[in-house]
Amino acid sequence: MRKPKAIIVGGSIAGISCAKALILAGWDVVVIEKTRGPPIGNPTGAGIALNPLSQKMVKSWLHQPDLLHNITLPLTIGQNRAVDREKNICGTDEIIDVVGDLLVAADGSCSSVRQTFLPDSKLRYTGYCAWRGVFDFSENENSETIQGIRKAYPELGNGVHGDSATMKVSSDMIKKMHQEAEKIWVPEFARVIKETKEPFLNLMYDCDPLTQIYWDNVVLIGDAAHPITPHCARSTNMAIADAAVLGKCLERWGPENLHSALEEHQSVRLPVTTKQVLHSRRVGQIKLGLPTPDREPFDPNTASPEDCEILKQRRLPFFDDVPSILE
């Protein structure tokens, strides 16, 4: 019998995760990605911070499960470090028809597929942005700067996060940022910031939660389905969970019951992603001292332990939830 075929738009973490999950479910997969080369440069931020469920799923997709822990370091506290990505777009006007049984939109927060089905759904600018940068110490791991930052932040691992629009910055903006860093951060971290080449700004966006993420034989996953702010380090984890659940639903129902599979996937994922998007939005507002309807602006200098409780990662809805279909 002919295997069912899925067309995945986007070679993102969501797209590649979905490809692995669907292959294991017995599907043929074609991944369409407009970027021709590996990530280089620094026009945008990219992020990876894997929770236990994500680690479990990724390891199940690898031929060498230990590879995940061999090439990463644990992040035991909520800190972020940025890496970079450069888009090298293929300049061609050629149109190629690709035929499949299922279209998976993993094309990010600015999803063109989502825009096709939900033209009124817009990204929501949060009102703030974040400085990011890449500090390359690969050839000088024992430098005074690196030794200092490891001493000041002994639990710092290789955690990264972020996925949003990037704004170019001027030398005056960078100079002002360095001055502010010296006032706010410990000297070791301020030094890392000053020695980071080509820092950049990310404008932070999310989207009001969707009420539908599939139509006929089209489904949204990852940031295409639920753009989220980076405050709870969820984007990557949500994408991996989307892919894993979708794969299991397709495997359970089979290609002849595609609608039922997509309906189950939506019923499992929407309640989770809706609450997580709204919680991350709220955490961002609190961290930045923005007004909220039910509390005074947050001040880290005067906040009590109770005031800080909501900022903990474990306060995120469904923080350690494992969907029953993945158990």
Q: What is the pLDDT of residues 236-266, one digit of tens each?
A: 999 999 999 999 999 999 999 999 999 999 9
Ranges 61-65, 68-72, 247-251: which has the least confidence? 68-72
> What strands lie across the sheet with 123-134, from one edge to the other?
123-134, 197-207, 165-167
pLDDT exceeds 90 at position 324: yes
Q: Report the C-alpha gap between 222 and 240 in whole angstroms.
A: 8
Burial class, 213, CB count within 10 angstroms (exposed 0-12 / middle 13-18 / buried 19+):
buried
pLDDT for position 113: 95
Q: Could you identify the residue written with the tokens 């990010």? A: 108
Q: What is the pLDDT of residues 15-47, one digit of tens each?
A: 999 999 999 999 999 999 887 665 554 444 445
> What strands lie across the sheet with 102-105, from one edge to the other?
28-32, 5-9, 102-105, 218-220, 214-215
pLDDT for position 62: 84
Main-chain dihedrals φ then ψ at residue 168, nearest 5 degrees: -70, 150
pLDDT for position 88: 38
Sign for the pseudo-dihedral over CA of 130, 134, 135, 141? positive
pLDDT exceeds 80 at position 55: yes
pLDDT for position 76: 43
Q: Could you identify the residue written with the tokens 């909220």? A: 292
The candidate with the shortest Cα–Cα distance to 9, out of 164, 117, 170, 125, is: 117
Q: What is the largest CA-CA distance in the chain?
A: 67
Q: Report the C-alpha gap between 166 and 21 in whole angstroms.
A: 31
| 28-32 and 165-167 beta bridge pairing | unpaired
How would you label 41-68 residue by residue, b for 16+ Cβ within 10 Å and e otherwise?
ebebbbbbbbbebbbbbbeebeeeeeeb
What's the average model confidence in pLDDT over 57-75?
Answer: 74
Q: Report the C-alpha gap between 219 and 106 in whole angstroms.
A: 9
Bridge partner list, 67: none
How open is the CA angle 230-211-21, to the nearest 5 degrees? 65
Q: Report the C-alpha gap between 104 and 159 in whole angstroms.
A: 27
